[in-house]
């Protein structure tokens, strides 16, 4: 009796020594039990499974998709940096007039309250490191948060944090004149910590960074640690609201809670000022 001819179509294409009569549902190649991946209908070979995964749309974490509402370009972050640098130049060109008109001290609260925000765009004219460190921190954390939150939420976070820093100065410091984006920057750190915890990331390094910078404010003279603490608390509170109301259907609640935070801060400011 003649020996039966070896038909390669009846053997696994990846394991030529294993006979099989199972075909991939997509490409029709013969595959053994080890190479099969169960599909909705039939089985698929490893190549078809790999190809399907490559073609599948990349899904982002739900929290990122829900929070984000803007393009990848951090235009708000760069705009804040640009305005801050321009204001710093204007401080010198004006002979210190800009510094005197827009810096913040508690005594100005009752009749020039806008200084609580504008002071965040000024920096010490005697030390360029002041603006360099703040803008570097904004350059690092700003794009990440703007990407996660969207432009409108990010600028709201930044300004509310700056306001929180000035409010803490009003409540905890007397006869001081403060300038700098430190309160707003600490607000970004507080928000980043809250969001990172929600995402399940390791926040130990961030906690160390925050702790070191807070400690510097307590021990190094001419640093308004009050603004750091106030900005940190305000930024964390805003981020908490963003996370709890991240569903598109909850945008009214989100707007309401953010408005409530600002209203409470304004109420405290009025009470403390008068």
Selected catalytic residue, list 137, 182, 203, 247: 182
Dist CA 176 CA 186 (whole Å)? 19
Cβ(162)–Cβ(265) under 8 Å?
Answer: no
Write a three-state SS string for 145-175: HHHHHCHHHHHHHHHHHHHHHHHHHHHHCCC
Is residue 127 part of the annotated active site? The answer reads no
Dist CA 210 CA 191 (whole Å)? 12
Dist CA 120 CA 57 (whole Å)? 42
Is residue 123 part of the annotated active site? The answer reads no
Cβ(231)–Cβ(161) under 8 Å?
Answer: yes
Selected catalytic residue, list 123, 130, 147, 228: 228
Give the CA dihedral 263, 269, 272, 274, nearest 10 degrees: -100
Dist CA 225 CA 216 (whole Å)? 8
List active site positions.
182, 228
């Amino acid at each position: 009796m003649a020996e039966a001819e070896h038909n390669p179509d009846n053997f696994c294409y990846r394991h030529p020594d294993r006979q099989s009569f199972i075909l991939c549902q997509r490409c029709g190649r013969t595959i053994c039990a080890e190479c099969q991946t169960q599909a909705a209908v039939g089985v698929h070979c490893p190549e078809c499974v790999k190809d399907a995964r490559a073609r599948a749309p990349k899904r982002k974490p739900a929290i990122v998709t829900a929070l984000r509402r803007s393009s990848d370009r951090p235009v708000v972050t760069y705009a804040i940096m640009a305005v801050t640098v321009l204001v710093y130049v204007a401080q010198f060109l004006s002979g210190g007039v800009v510094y005197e008109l827009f810096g913040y001290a508690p005594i100005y609260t009752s009749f020039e309250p806008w200084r609580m925000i504008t002071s965040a765009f000024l920096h010490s004219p005697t030390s360029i490191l002041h603006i360099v460190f703040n803008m570097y921190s904004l350059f690092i954390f700003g794009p990440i948060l703007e990407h996660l939150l969207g432009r409108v939420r990010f600028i709201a976070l930044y300004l509310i944090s700056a306001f929180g820093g000035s409010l803490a100065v009003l409540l905890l410091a007397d006869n001081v004149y403060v300038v700098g984006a430190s309160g707003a920057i600490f607000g970004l750190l507080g928000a980043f910590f809250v969001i990172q915890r929600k995402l399940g990331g390791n926040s130990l390094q961030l906690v160390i960074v925050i702790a070191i910078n807070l400690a510097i404010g307590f021990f190094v003279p001419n640093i308004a640690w009050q603004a750091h603490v106030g900005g940190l608390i305000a930024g964390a509170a805003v981020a908490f609201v963003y996370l709890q109301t991240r569903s598109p259907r909850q945008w009214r609640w989100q707007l309401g809670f953010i408005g409530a935070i600002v209203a409470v801060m304004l109420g405290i400011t009025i009470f403390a000022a008068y």
